[in-house]
A = this chain, B = another copy of it.
Amino acid sequence: MVRWRPGARERLQAAALERFAEHGFDGTTVAEIAEAAGLTERTFFRYFADKREVIFAGQEQFEQVFLSGLEGAGDDHPMQAVAAALDAAATNFFPDRGWSRTRQAVIDKDPGLQERELLKLASLATAMTEALRRRGVEETAASLTAQSGVAVFRVAFGAWIADGETRSLADIQRAVLAELRGLVGDTGE
């Protein structure tokens, strides 16, 4: 029986995240990451353009998993399509709470990484807006729904990786969406 052995890419990612968490993002060099993974710097650069790419690898898939969920939704109200996108992402993109937690801790300590993460989420909102427009949703509604969906994702993700949280990301997202409904409904008029 062949024992599964993680590939170079996965070893580099694991080694990088471990060192970032321990020594900070700025306090870690590519040489150290490569060494910790038992590989050369040359190999590192075959997989990643730079240190930062280790943290943001898979951004395209990240967006894609939301968009697939959105496009797979029935011909519902836009917010239901966005809810389907969030469900799909929770199920298909975030299998490992520990990895996500450590990654976020690394980001939270580095303003440059925080900016990049914000831009990633803004890009997701734009992509979801465009996908809703393609479904015939009017511009204001599309933008508003996509941005609200990303807000729900951000808040839910933060709760999901909090210490001691045991609910699934999908469950938390549904609870946060329900909370948003209550909050927005409270504006009266």
Contact = CB atoms under 8 A, between A and B. Distances in A.
Task: Give how many copies assemble into the complex.
Answer: 2
A180 B118 contact: no
A141 B147 CA distance: 16
Chain A facing B: main interface SS:
helix
A144 to B, nearest CB: 5
Contact of A80 (B79, B158, B180, B188): B188
A78 B179 CA distance: 12
Interface residues of A, number: 36
A176 B138 CA distance: 13
Nearest to A138: B179
Nearest to A78: B183
A96 interface: no
Contacts of A158: 143
B79 A186 contact: yes
Given A118-B122, A119-B118, A181 B185 contact: yes
A152 B159 contact: no
A131 to B, nearest CB: 16
Contacts of A152: 144
A187 B148 CA distance: 12
Interface in A44-74: none
Interface string A153-169: 01100110000000000
A170 interface: no
12 contacts: A77-B187, A79-B184, A80-B188, A140-B155, A140-B176, A145-B183, A147-B154, A147-B155, A148-B183, A177-B184, A178-B189, A184-B185
